[in-house]
Amino acid sequence: MKLLILGANGFIGSHLCEAILAKKNWTIAALDLFSDKVSHCLSHPRFEFYQGDMTASSDWLTFQFKNCDVVLPLAAIATPALYVKKPLLVFELDFEANLSIIRQCVQWRKRVIFPSTSEVYGMCKDAVFDEEKSFCVTGPIHKERWIYANIKQLLDRIIYAYGKDQQLNYSLFRPFNWYGPKLDSLTNPHARVVTRFIGNILRQEEIVLVNGGEQQRCFTYIDDGITALLKIIENKNNIAHNQIFNIGNPAENVSIKQLAKLLVEIMKDYPGYENLTANKTIKILSADNYYGEGYEDIDRRIPAIHRAQKYLNWQPDIDLMTGLKKTVKAYLV
């Protein structure tokens, strides 16, 4: 099997490439603007890397579409701060560029495995979010935060429609707060919450809790996510054909405030950080002051994972404390 992976140097892409080369005999054609996270893969005989922008690499992409079996368009902007600050940039990459890739999958009759998001459920009131039953509910237009959720939801619907009308072979997966090593640069001003907090602690800055950090998330360690993704790609007995899967860890539902406190406790085990205390480290800001007026948050999002359990025989194994320790260690070594 040959895979075309776009956004291969990203968080999910880099871990996926590592796992494939270590555990499978599949071949990878990979594209990204940078190669630092996959640098150790570059010399592998089953890994072909092209450094470039997928919107300006039409000849290379056409060749790869002709010769691949499965396409994974993983390139996207997935940081909430940018949904508010740069909504048009998010639209151009996450929607326009990826829609072009989906249409090429239809044209060349290639299977596509597309990263949806837990954000498609928006402000759904269900206790747990079900792929087949839960409503996708987002906020008013002046809350730019929802542009990402609506982009992903619309692409999900387009892919589903192509599956019915053009026999597109697809699988959709919805990550619920995947985290781990290589999530973001610790100096990235738009880093996601786990790496943002680690960076704050390392620089001895205050940890900012937006609206008090009472919102809850189900954090899923990257190794668990990649295990599910490998099963989706393998598609044994066609189990993932035209299916949608939540990939998350409902057992690890914690508030952002609890996450901050856990990271402080973990960091106290490292030389130089023994005297950290959460009370002195944490600062509370309103969402408007931190993100701007275009932000709106979700109280909680818990995935129903019975479909992944049934079809993929998948279950998350790594608890939050173990995963956070692995993540912190990777950034400090």
Catalytic (active site) residue 103:
no
Tokens of 239: 């189990």
Calpha distance 122→57 (Å, rounded) = 34
Closest CA to 11 of 223, 168, 187, 172: 223
264, 201 in Cβ contact below 8 A? Answer: yes
What sign has the CA pseudo-torsion 127, 129, 135, 139? positive
Q: Which residue has the tokens 């071949």?
A: 27
314 in Cβ contact with 308 (< 8 Å): yes
What's the DSSP call for residue 219? Answer: -
Classify residue 222 as exposed, middle or buried by CB count within 10 Å of its CB (0-12, 13-18, 19+). Answer: buried
What whole-number distance in Å separates Cα of residue 34 and Cα of residue 32?
A: 5
Query: Which of the following is catalytic: 18, 111, 119, 131?
Result: 119
Which three-class secondary structure state does DSSP give residue 305? coil
Tell me if residue 284 falls in helix, strand or coil: strand
Query: How far is 1 from 292, CA to CA, in rounded Å?
Result: 46
Contact 115, 74 (CB under 8 A): yes
Helix (H, G, I), strand (E, B) or coil at 174: strand
Q: Measure the CA dihedral 7/22/62/168, to 10°.
A: -90
Does the active-site annotation cover 109? no
How many Å separate Cα 269 from the centre of its chain?
29
Q: Active site residue: 111, 174, 192, 301, which one?
A: 301
Residue 325 token pair: 């320790």
Catalytic residues: 119, 301
